[in-house]
Amino acid sequence: MPRFTVLVSGRGSNLGAILAQRDTLGAEVAGVVSSVDDAPALLLAERAGVQAIRLAPARGEKRVDYDARLLATLATLKTDWVVLAGFMRILSDSFVERYAGRIVNIHPSLLPAFPGMHPHRQAIECGVRFSGCTVHLVEPGNVDSGRILDQRVVPVYDGDNEDTLAARVLVQEHQLYPAVLRRLFAGHSVIGPRPEVR
Ligand code: GRF
């Protein structure tokens, strides 16, 4: 069975949704690594009996040095797949190349719209009538730009604010992420060809 590690930095509701379905995913949870020492996600992992590792960056630590420590940790955990769930760091290209095609992220917008920070705020300010969430591969290049694996659409209502929209999208995130992971771990190609950049 392939093994995956979940990288987190905060609340961990997507981690919770993944752990709730862990017996059906066709892969083993190797561990959870947090870039924030007191992230609530760590407690979730511990309560589920999953190895929870605190790996906060040292003050002034360079990205490549942190990523080298992260790679060493993942090697210890014998990780095949890296699953980002609210991990608030950008990974260096060398890290991404080491796990090429085996790093997955969830982003709460319909990519390629609204990558990066505050996607719900961006969606509301733009006046879009639909938003949603995207599970995608993490690949070298711009943030949130890797190949799209699957998406869910959510309506944006008059009077929505960031919190109400985020809550509506989150319900879909919790359904979508485990479903995509199950397909990926089963070896099904949910990945289309990389679109040509014109
Ligand atoms: C989610 O909205 C996820 O899409 C984004 O960060 C948030 C993490 O929430 N990448 P949680 O920690 O999974 O509750």
Catalytic (active site) residue 107: yes
Measure the CA–CA gap between 132 and 98, rounded to whole angstroms. Answer: 30
Per-residue pLDDT tens digits for 118-173: 999 999 999 999 999 999 999 998 999 999 999 999 999 999 999 999 999 999 99
Residue 198's pLDDT band (cuts 50, 70, 90): low
Q: Do 106 and 84 form a contact (C-beta atoms < 8 A)?
A: yes
Residue 198 Cα to ligand 1 midpoint, Å, equals 31
Is the predicted pLDDT of residue 197 greater than 60, yes or no? no
Measure the CA–CA gap between 34 and 87, rounded to whole angstroms. Answer: 8
Closest ligand 1 atom, residue 170 Cα:
2
pLDDT in the model for residue 196: 62
Encoded amino acid at 197, one letter:
V
Encoded amino acid at 198, one letter:
R
Cβ of 119 closer than 6 Å to ligand 1, yes or no, is no
Cβ of 26 closer than 6 Å to ligand 1, yes or no, is no
